[in-house]
């Protein structure tokens, strides 16, 4: 029997106990993707964000924040290295057949880019960066394509995407 790699391990009882224990501590609250274990879109998004995080960390970035909620939406990831403070949008898709010319990036239109810039301003106002702040700000996009079996097909990182 093949297991679903996008399904969170453990049973619902363990998840509920953990959620109950961590309810008062905002740092330990379960992420939204974990909060709805039955929603396949959230599981897919959480898988894509985990792969994007691993990708960035492997390239020397420190992840400062993830799933930062604002009134305009959610910043997927904020990371830094010595040169850049990076606001990163992650788009994950299940690949069925040949992708279009833009793949997952087709979902990042001009309205989305404008909202991401406004959310970045909110993040900068709300969060202090410990240590020296990198001299440059950059907006990246990471497109993750997953096979229906759950296998990673492609991860594409567009630096300075917009």
State how far the Cα of 115 lies from the Cα of 71, in Å rounded to an integer. Answer: 10
State how far the Cα of 72 lies from the Cα of 15, in Å rounded to an integer. Answer: 29
What pLDDT sits at residue 162?
87
More confident residue, 96 or 11: 96
Task: Say if CB 155 and CB 51 are below 8 A apart.
Answer: yes
Other CB atoms within 10 A of residue 32 CB: 14
What pLDDT sits at residue 31?
45
| Domain layout of the chain by residue ranges | 38-158
Any bridge partners for residue 138, and if so which?
Answer: 86
Any bridge partners for residue 146, and if so which?
Answer: 94, 152
What pLDDT sits at residue 37?
61
What dotted CATH number matches 38-158? Answer: 3.40.1350.10
Q: Which of 32, 6, 1 shows the shortest CA–CA distance to 19?
A: 32
* pLDDT higher than threshold 60 for residue 17: no
Does pTM surpass 0.85? no
| φ, ψ dihedrals at 46, nearest 5° | -65, -40
* pLDDT higher than threshold 80 for residue 38: no
More confident residue, 63 or 19: 63
Q: What is the pLDDT averaged over residues 8-37? A: 42
**pLDDT digits 0-9 by tens, 49-91:** 999 999 999 999 999 999 999 999 999 999 999 899 999 999 9
């Amino acid at each position: 029997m093949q297991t679903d790699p996008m399904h969170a391990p453990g049973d619902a009882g363990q998840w509920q106990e953990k959620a109950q224990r961590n309810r008062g501590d905002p740092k330990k609250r379960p992420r939204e993707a974990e909060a709805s274990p039955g929603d396949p879109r959230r599981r897919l998004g959480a898988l894509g964000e985990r792969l994007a995080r691993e990708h960035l960390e492997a390239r020397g970035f420190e992840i400062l924040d993830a799933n930062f909620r604002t009134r305009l939406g959610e910043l997927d990831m904020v990371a830094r290295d010595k040169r850049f403070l990076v606001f990163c949008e992650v788009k994950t898709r299940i690949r069925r057949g040949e992708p279009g010319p833009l793949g997952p990036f087709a979902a990042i239109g001009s309205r989305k880019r404008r909202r991401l810039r406004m959310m970045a301003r909110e993040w900068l106002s709300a969060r202090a960066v410990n240590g020296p702040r990198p001299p440059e700000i950059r907006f990246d996009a990471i497109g993750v394509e997953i096979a229906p079996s759950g296998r990673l097909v492609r991860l594409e990182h567009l630096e300075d995407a917009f």
